[in-house]
Amino acid sequence: MKPFQKAIDLVQEAVDAGRLAGAALAIGDRNRLYAEETFGCTSFADLTGEAVPVDRHTLYDMASVSKIMATTMVTLRFITDGKMDLADMLSVYFGDMVPGDKAGITLFQLLTHTSGFPAHILLEKFVQPGGDVADFLLHAPLDYRPGSQVVYSCMGFILLGKALERIGGKPLDVLARDLVFAPLGMTHTGYHPLDRPVDTANTAFTERDHITGQWLVGRVHDENARFQNGVSGNAGVFSDLSDCVRFARMLAGHGTLDGVELVPRRIFDQAIRNYTPGMDENCGLGFHLANGYFSYSGLFFDQKAFGHTGFTGPHMLVSPETGLYVVLLNNRVHPDRARDSGNLRLRRLVHTQAAIEYERIASREAD
């Protein structure tokens, strides 16, 4: 039996049962890639007329995994370079645009989802095309007193993305490319895949555009990112399994990959601490942390593990102690978000099997 065969079989069963059109799975640690498997096709062919087999270069809409792949890592780079500080208040980035009720909100609170910003606002209902999204968010009502609770907020990360653009003087997609993807050799990762030299035929389908009715293939699924022409602090990144493995290995290496230091370990290790114990979610600086049996990590993976999930289906989870990582990419919202793909349960089952097998491998190697 191959290493991690039980984890592989769980994903294969989900595809065979029609809960997912396809998927890509990688399990490894800092030093080795133990399993790399692909399953099914980029869409349900009976619905789309397409039947492209998934491979390690199939592009997936990373949805909120963009928060760690782009927004968080650019922020940590700027902190490292002395351009940002966790205690910075919004006025440092937005000046007189910041009203009094938001004057005390800090970069730390944006990163830990404790800023008071609501979880979601559909921007297209309130902002004119091409309008100032940052100005709208700065004047939108808060949902709670900043710092008092965790409310996972895409809106806070959209505002953080706008702050990064002001500090960096470039669009977020360019900052992410120059500061994260290029240094890590992630050649298939970025925003706007339709504008890049990639095989768009080998891209996972998500839903139909709620306005045009066309399938979203290589166009971001998140409505707020799509409203911002595909580039946003909360979503918009597309990636494939091969690049996600590189990113996961960097995470497992505490900010360093193959001798390239993306973020100093002193900064990185503070980013993966739990700053919200006792609240509804365990949050690091941009990272989601393991949180028991009901969370996406499950109980049996390292409970200090960190990573992120995406609404469209992908996720990654990394143990800071052993370096064990799991990357699972799929398009669970295809053909629509209403269907129950069992994706959260699948994640926990895969994590459990990965943890069991990794412990067995470590035990055999220690003997």
pLDDT averaged over the chain?
Answer: 96
> Over the stretch 228-243, which tens digit does the pLDDT of each residue have?
999 999 999 999 999 9
pLDDT of residue 245: 98
**Integer Cα distance of 108 and 100 in angstroms:** 18
Residue 51 has pLDDT above 90, yes or no: no
10 pLDDT more than 90: yes
Q: What is the dihedral of CA 192, 70, 79, 305, to 10 degrees?
A: 180
Looking at the predicted structure, is the pLDDT value of residue 196 above 70? no
User: Could you give phi then psi for residue 360, rounded to 5 degrees?
Assistant: -65, -40
- The pLDDT of residue 197 is 61
* Strands of 146-249, DSSP E: 238-239
Mean pLDDT of 74-90: 98
Q: What is the mean pLDDT of residues 153-173?
A: 98
Q: Indicate whether 198 pLDDT > 70.
A: no
DSSP label at residue 278? T
Question: What one-letter code names the amino acid at 313?
Answer: G
pTM, whole model, 2 decimals? 0.97
Q: How confident is the model at residue 199 (pLDDT cuts 50, 70, 90)?
A: low
Domain 1-45+60-367 has CATH 3.40.710.10: yes
User: Which of the 8 DSSP states describes residue 53?
Assistant: B
Strands of 247-324 (E only): list them. 256-257, 260-261, 288-289, 306-309, 315-318
Categorize the per-residue pLDDT at 202 as very low, low, confident or very high, splitting at 50, 70 and 90.
very high
Residue-wise pLDDT for 331-355, tens only, equals 999 999 998 889 999 999 999 999 9
